[in-house]
Amino acid sequence: MSITPEKHPLEPFLPDGARLLMLGSFPPKRERWSMDWFYPNWLNDMWRIVGHIFYGNKEHFVVVGTKRFDKERIVEFCTRQGIAIYDTAQEVCRLRDNASDKFLQVITPTDIVAMLHRLPHCCAVVTTGQKATDIAVAQLGCEEPRVGGVVQCVVAGRTINVWRMPSTSRAYPLSLEKKAAFYRTMFSAEDILVEK
């Protein structure tokens, strides 16, 4: 059986002045999307965690009465707070018919260093899963941080903090509140937690 490679369906989100670059692995299949943007799966808790941290309400980015996230509200929030988002893979093969990183074969990784050149104010890279972490540390030449931890590297003369966050997938065995505590620490340390 031949597996067809998939190219990333989204362009990198790189707002002017972004100070933090958040990197996942690759989006799930489109039938699992609840919006046309990053972390689109209704069962992924990224936007619930962010809502919980910044607004004390895990439903803040949910369209009321639906099972979908409010892309416009999320884009506005990320732009205001200086959060850039993309993934560490540009092209993959799914070895199984699911969204698990374990069964993603990366054909073409994202050039993270080139992306950082496009983000001159960015001083932090955040990975949101093991596959993203593996690709990022290989490209940036740093040690792998522990979950919730940070290491530093130098990219083109600029010191970059590299954070490893727990996956926001519900398959990752940690409660939303415990995941949020890790993300809160990171956002606070990078001065993103202050509402802009």
Q: What is the pLDDT of residue 100?
A: 64
pLDDT (0 to 100) of residue 1: 46
Q: Which residues of the chain, if any, have pLDDT below 50?
A: 1
Q: What is the pLDDT of residue 99?
A: 59
pLDDT tens for each residue of 12-27: 999 999 999 999 999 9
Q: Is 48 inside any structural domain?
A: yes
Return the bridge partners of 104, or none: 94
Confidence (pTM): 0.93
CA–CA dist 52, 193 (Å, integer): 12
Asked if residue 100 belongs to a domain, the reply is yes
The C-alpha atoms of residue 40 and residue 29 are separated, in whole angstroms, by 10
Reported residue count of the chain is 196
- pLDDT score of 124: 98
Both tokens of 40, joined, read 């689109």
In a domain, 106, yes or no: yes
Quote the CA–CA distance of 88 and 25 in Å, as a whole number: 5
The answer to the question of residue 194 being in a domain is no
Determine phi and psi for 136, rounding to 5 degrees. Answer: -65, -45
Asked if residue 178 belongs to a domain, the reply is yes
Structurally, how many domains does the chain consist of?
A: 1
Q: List the CATH number of the domain containing 16.
A: 3.40.470.10
Q: Give the three-state DSSP class for 52.
A: helix
User: 9 is written with which tokens?
Assistant: 């369906």
Query: What is the C-alpha separation between 124 and 150, in angstroms, rounded?
Result: 9
Q: What is the DSSP letter of 66?
A: S
Q: What is the pLDDT of residues 62-78, one digit of tens each?
A: 999 999 999 999 999 99
Range of the domain at 34: 6-189
